[in-house]
Amino acid sequence: MLLAADVGNTNVVFALFEADGEGGYVCPPRARWRIATDPRRTGDEYAVWLLQLLTIEGVSRDNITQIVYASVVPRADHNLTVLAQKYFGITPLKAGEGKAAWQFEIDVDQPSSLGADRALNILAAHQKYGGDIIAIDFGTATKFEAIDFNGTYKGGSIAPGINLSLDALVGKTAKLPRIAIRSPESTSVIGRNTEDQMLIGVFWGYVAMMEGIVARMKKEIGRPTKVVATGGLAILFDEATDIFDIVDADLTIEGLAILAQQASE
């Protein structure tokens, strides 16, 4: 089995993949678990939590034969390596380095600045769906990636995540209340009270931003293009817009499984 970990700014997602008997791994993952990102969390703390979850899943640590992780939080890297080596006896692969280096062309001005999470979305979107693709990842930030039919990364854009936008709105004003992000009950953009007006402004404003960026990206690409969405809020926004062709909640973590297979070839 493969143990994969995606370290984001907000959460670390662990996933367990079973081998497919042909050198790769079965997707979607057998299990996935989420824990808040904390760079101070030690390898021992990860182990106490993770080994209990493996036991609940009926999996022995001896079943884990490969570990791969991606990280946009450098301070967390050492502790994940300790977890892998001390508790599983495995030296982990780090996405983007060594045997797990990216095997697709990165056609931008600063290729080394591409975050591992974004690279995994690019890799997985091309491998799974082919053709020209716009991949959108709803995380702490919302990332838009342009991938051509050869799998080459052509560039993209980064916008504040909707929760960041809401935090800024509430944090910089004295009287506006904190609200939860949800789909408004009505499609009207004329709210009758302060909370509804905030929700309309944040939610429908974000939908308009997405639709506008996707339309402009498609115009620049100039060929039929699929839009693949991932991240926690993708399903929520899918109910409010028709710009997504595919919603794939496991895109990033499955990118790690694809990368692990490539590293073993």
User: Would you name the residues annotated as active-site residues?
Assistant: 117
> At 95, phi and psi to the nearest 5?
-55, 130
23's tokens: 């050198």
- Which residues touch 57 (CB under 8 Å, ≥6 apart)? 16, 30, 31
Residues with Cβ < 8 Å from 97, sequence gap 6 or more? Answer: none
Contact in structure between 41 and 172 (CB atoms under 8 Å):
no
Element (H, E) at 54: helix 43-57
Element (H, E) at 209: helix 194-221
What's the distance, CA 80 to chain centroid? 18
Q: What are phi and psi of 96, to 5 degrees?
A: 95, -5
Q: What is the DSSP string of 5-50?
A: EEE-SSEEEEEEE-B-SSSSB-SS-SEEEEEE--TT--HHHHHHHH
Helical H segments across 64-161, by residue range: 77-88, 116-129
End-to-end CA distance of the chain: 16
